[in-house]
Amino acid sequence: MNYGYIRVSAKDQNEARQLAALSGLNIPAGNIYLDKQSGKNFDRPAYQRLLRRLRSGDALYILSIDRLGRDYDEILEQWRIITKKKSADIVVLDFPLLDTRARLEGQDLTGRFVADLVLQILAYVAQKERENIRQRQAEGIAAAKAAGRCWGNPGIERPAEADDYAILWREKKFSLEEIGRRLGVSRSTAYRFVKFDKNHGKKFGENDD
């Protein structure tokens, strides 16, 4: 049985490119699993359901290794669980060398060594990129604070009407989803807006010390 796994880091990101890559691979629609979640660990609902379904001889297709995850040790451990413990195969579409089906066709020791080495390198790159993203986000937030913009999102100015919505949210008259819809932002950005105290440049409810 063939399976596909898709992961994007946020709910507002588009999974179309990964879905297109999996099309035409004889994967039933019900066998494609999607998580909209960070790759920092594997505690993801769709991935865990997929893992429970995998059986010996099944094949799991992913577009790239960083779609599987972005933690070096966890990537290698999940690879071991799928290929060794469950005896299923993994096919990384954008890196044909990472296709464990080749091992069943008599791949020699050198070929296995090279494949394992490539896996470790790509796992390292995936985690390193995650660390770089976090660093860039931290730097962007610091720059936004220095410029007087909203503490949580350096790319979006906090509108003046956010003060009114913050009151309505604290009085439980408006949900974050409704506020986000009215302001044209995501739920997470709406949360940052309503938790920001413009008078003190900090999150609402923080202590002064």
For residue 143, is it within any domain? Answer: no
What is the mean pLDDT of the segment spanning 109-134?
Answer: 66
Asked whether residue 102 falls in the same domain as residue 157, the answer is no
For residue 191, what is the domain's CATH number?
A: 1.10.10
Would you say residue 198 has pLDDT above 60?
no
Would you say residue 137 has pLDDT above 70?
no
Q: What is the count of structural domains for the chain?
A: 2
For residue 208, is it within any domain? Answer: no
pLDDT of residue 52: 96
**Residue 162 burial by CB count (10 A; 0-12/13-18/19+): exposed, middle or buried?**
buried
Would you say residue 102 has pLDDT above 60?
yes
For residue 172, is it within any domain? Answer: yes
Asked whether residue 155 falls in the same domain as residue 77, the answer is no
Would you say residue 159 has pLDDT above 90?
no
Point out the least confidently predicted range of 7-16, 134-143, 165-174.
Answer: 134-143
Asked whether residue 24 falls in the same domain as residue 124, the answer is yes
d(CA 206, CA 209) in angstroms, rounded, equals 9
For residue 27, is it within any domain? Answer: yes
pLDDT of residue 46: 95
* Cβ–Cβ under 8 Å, residues 151 and 196: yes
d(CA 98, CA 65) in angstroms, rounded, equals 9
Asked whether residue 124 falls in the same domain as residue 59, the answer is yes
For residue 159, is it within any domain? Answer: yes
Point out the least confidently predicted range of 33-42, 88-97, 154-163, 191-200.
Answer: 191-200
> 73 lies in which domain range?
2-129
Asked whether residue 20 falls in the same domain as residue 99, the answer is yes
For residue 72, is it within any domain? Answer: yes
Residue in 178, 70, 180 with CA at minimum distance from that of residue 127: 70
What is the mean pLDDT of the segment spanning 175-198?
Answer: 81
Higher pLDDT, 43 or 183: 43
Domain final residue pick, 80, 100, 129: 129
Asked whether residue 59 falls in the same domain as residue 120, the answer is yes
Asked whether residue 15 falls in the same domain as residue 83, the answer is yes
d(CA 75, CA 61) in angstroms, rounded, equals 15
